């Protein structure tokens, strides 16, 4: 059993059989405090695992860092309990000398839940962050058939979801080769996306030009903003986007696809990046 999952006793009820009590595997959820230069910057509820990527991706999403060289070290803080042991729930990020410290307005006033990434922003004006990596001119192109296949490809890689049924996921695809570059899971959609972005930062792949990001669930304003901050030109979700998510996608020139299912999808912005699907199932580039 890893820290990403926990075992708990559950009682299963069914109309055609007696209740059965047995252990079940659940997705773990624990707080992670992210410090920058020793000062608390945010606390988020997450599934343990890929914590350094989560912290790095979060700082990219907040506009604090933009490239791999912007972070010098990330470490877990020791002595966070009464007996001086390490909980692995507090980490500290050291920024490179050329990176200014984060604006205090960006700090989260309280714990961010796994369901709400924007909760706790110190001010409304701090919600919208301008990207270091504009996506409007990105020449990425994806066929309709490739887009339709993304949810199934993502689902195939959701190892923790397979055992718990309780995790969101985000997966990054190279639009030129079709290769699935990375998949991350978490109880929070925004955390899964931050883990993907943090992976890219650690591998010096920012900006993520020529990529598409597939997410489970809906597409919120925050997910569009995170994609924009990382330079991801295409974002696809299996459910609906919010109105504000669509507005932001239109504003920054990001392709936003929703309701991506086996045979159909809806494009809300920049449809020119997606080849149309003909009745015979073949792809056709828009004219």
CATH of the domain at 260: 3.40.140.10
pLDDT of 128: 60
In a domain, 137, yes or no: no
The pLDDT value recorded for residue 279 is 54
Q: Residue 224: enclosing H or E segment and its boundaries?
A: helix 221-230
To 10 degrees, what angle do helices 243-252 and 221-230 make?
Answer: 20
Q: 148 and 103, same structural domain?
A: no
Residues 268 and 151 in one domain: yes
Q: What is the pTM of this model?
A: 0.88
CATH number at residue 37: 3.10.20.10
Nearest alpha-carbon partner for 190 in 160, 157, 221: 221
Residue 81 has pLDDT above 60, yes or no: yes
The answer to whether residues 166 and 237 belong to one domain is yes
Q: How far apart are the first and last CA of the chain?
A: 53
Write the pLDDT tens digit of every residue in 104-157. 777 765 456 555 655 555 444 445 668 899 999 999 999 999 999 999 999 998
Least confident of 43-57, 98-112, 116-130, 248-262: 116-130
The answer to whether position 286 is within a domain reads no
Q: What pairing do the DSSP bridges indicate for beta strands 90-95 and 180-186?
A: unpaired
Same domain membership, residue 240 and residue 146: yes
For 243: left if phi > 0, alpha if psi spans -120 to 50, otherwise beta; the answer is alpha
Mind listing the pLDDT tens digit for each residue in 82-106? 666 788 999 999 999 999 999 877 7
Residues 42 and 166 in one domain: no
Per-residue pLDDT averaged across 55-59, rounded?
A: 98
Domain that holds residue 80: 30-109
Q: Could you tell me what percent of the chain has a pLDDT over 90?
A: 74
Residue 249, helix vs strand vs coil: helix
pLDDT (mean) for 241-258: 96
On whether both 156 and 92 belong to a single domain, the answer is: no
The whole-chain average pLDDT of the chain stands at 89
> Which residue, chain included where needed, has tokens 């504000």?
244
Q: Which of 116, 126, 180, 181 is catalytic?
A: 116
Q: What is the pLDDT of residues 195-234, one digit of tens each?
A: 999 999 999 999 999 999 999 999 999 999 999 999 999 9
Residues 215 and 103 in one domain: no
Q: Give the model confidence (pLDDT) of 180-200 as tens digits.
A: 999 999 999 999 999 999 999
Assess if residue 200 is contained within a domain.
yes
Question: Any residues with CB less than 8 A from the CB of 212 and at least 6 apart, and which?
Answer: 140, 142, 147, 150, 172, 173, 175, 232, 233, 234, 235, 236
Give CA–CA dist 73/95, Å, rounded: 7
Confidence of residue 260 (pLDDT cuts 50, 70, 90): very high
Number of domains in the chain: 2
119 catalytic residue (yes or no) = no
- The pLDDT > 70 percentage for the chain reads 85
Q: E-strand spans in the chain? A: 5-14, 17-27, 30-36, 39-46, 71-76, 90-95, 168-174, 180-186, 211-215, 234-237, 255-258, 266-269, 276-277, 283-284
């Amino acid at each position: 059993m890893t820290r990403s999952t926990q075992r708990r006793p559950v009682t299963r009820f069914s109309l055609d059989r007696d209740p059965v009590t047995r252990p079940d595997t659940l997705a773990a959820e624990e707080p992670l405090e992210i410090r920058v230069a020793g000062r608390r910057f945010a606390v988020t509820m997450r599934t343990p695992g890929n914590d350094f990527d989560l912290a790095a991706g979060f700082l990219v999403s907040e506009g604090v860092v933009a490239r791999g060289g912007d972070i010098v070290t990330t470490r877990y803080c020791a002595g966070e309990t009464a007996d001086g042991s390490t909980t692995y729930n507090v980490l500290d990020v050291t920024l490179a000398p050329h990176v200014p410290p984060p604006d205090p307005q960006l700090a989260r006033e309280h714990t961010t839940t796994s369901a709400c990434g924007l909760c706790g922003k110190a001010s409304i004006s701090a919600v919208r962050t301008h990207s270091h990596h504009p996506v409007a001119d990105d020449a990425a192109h994806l066929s309709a058939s490739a887009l339709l296949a993304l949810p199934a490809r993502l689902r195939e890689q959701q190892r923790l979801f397979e055992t718990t049924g309780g995790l969101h996921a985000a997966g990054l695809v190279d639009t030129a080769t079709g290769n699935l570059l990375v998949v991350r899971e978490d109880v929070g959609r925004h955390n899964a996306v931050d883990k993907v972005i943090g992976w890219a930062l650690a591998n010096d792949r920012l900006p993520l030009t020529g990529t598409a990001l597939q997410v489970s669930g809906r597409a919120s304003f925050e997910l569009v903003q995170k994609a924009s901050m990382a330079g991801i030109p295409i974002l696809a979700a299996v459910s609906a986007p919010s109105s504000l998510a669509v507005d932001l996608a239109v504003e920054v020139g990001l392709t936003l696809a929703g309701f991506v299912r086996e045979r159909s999808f809806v494009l809300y912005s920049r449809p020119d990046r997606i080849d149309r699907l003909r009745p015979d199932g073949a792809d056709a580039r828009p004219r």
